[in-house]
Amino acid sequence: MNAKTPVEAQLTISSKTYSAWSLRGWLLCKLAGLDVIEQQVPNDAANRAELLLLSPSVLVPRLTCRGASVWDTLAIAEFLNEQFPEAQMLPADPIARAHSRSISGEIHSGFSNLRSALPMNLKVRHEKFPVFSGARPDIERIETIWADCLERYGGPFLFGARPTVADAMYAPVTTRFVTYAVALSAPCEAYCRTIAEWAPMREWIAAAKAEPEEMEELDVEF
């Protein structure tokens, strides 16, 4: 296939307002330069059977592209990086690349207190939200990760001048800090602004705000 031939790809996602994992998968596709057809499924019990037919894990995001069906954001990141090497989704330097994979793995498998205490919600802003003390160590660890990257690679993105996989993985965290007005160090606040101004993020947030559905109670990330 010629490099210029448009690639047909489909991404299954759920709510743009609440689904942090959907956002990560979608940003990864943008980083790859892939113009996906979005398939949005409501994430409620009534629709689980439909979702199961699409995604064996019954979770989103799930990508179909070049004959592959890929689910789980880190698998999607690695698949896209292999398929579209020209997109340079990971840092070129092997040491920085290992660092990027480590912090992407850390957000993928950890920070459960942060997830449950501060669920992603792109439609609201809480100026005086009481942050559960159990989430504090997660917030501090994330600040340390970001500050280290911004200092080592010079910002404004985690691995330098261009966004990479790690930025897609941490993007939903930046929105949580904005939503719940979490006080951060100046470099970390600047990083949250960088992500908020990143064109694909603006596109996603605008689409989220236009979504009709509202969930009154949301106490876990879904």
Ligand X SMILES: N[C@@H](CCC(=O)N[C@@H](CS)C(=O)NCC(=O)O)C(=O)O
* Closer by beta carbon to ligand X, 145 or else 221: 221
Count CB neighbours of 137 within 10 A: 12
Binding-site string for ligand X from residue 196 to residue 215, where x marks contact by CB under 6 A and - marks none: --------------------
Segment 97 to 116, residues that bind ligand X, using CB under 6 A: 108
Of these, 16, 72, 111, 122, which contacts ligand X (CB under 6 A)? Answer: 72
22 in contact with ligand X (CB under 6 A): yes
17 in contact with ligand X (CB under 6 A): no
Of these, 36, 60, 135, 168, which contacts ligand X (CB under 6 A)? Answer: 60
73 in contact with ligand X (CB under 6 A): yes
Shortest Cβ 51–ligand X spacing (Å): 7
Nearest to 34 by CA among 53, 55, 15, 9: 9
Contact between residue 120 and residue 173 where contact means Cβ atoms under 8 Å apart: no
Of these, 9, 11, 14, 32, which contacts ligand X (CB under 6 A)? Answer: 14
What are the residues binding ligand X (CB under 6 A)? 14, 19-22, 43, 48, 59-61, 72-73, 108, 222
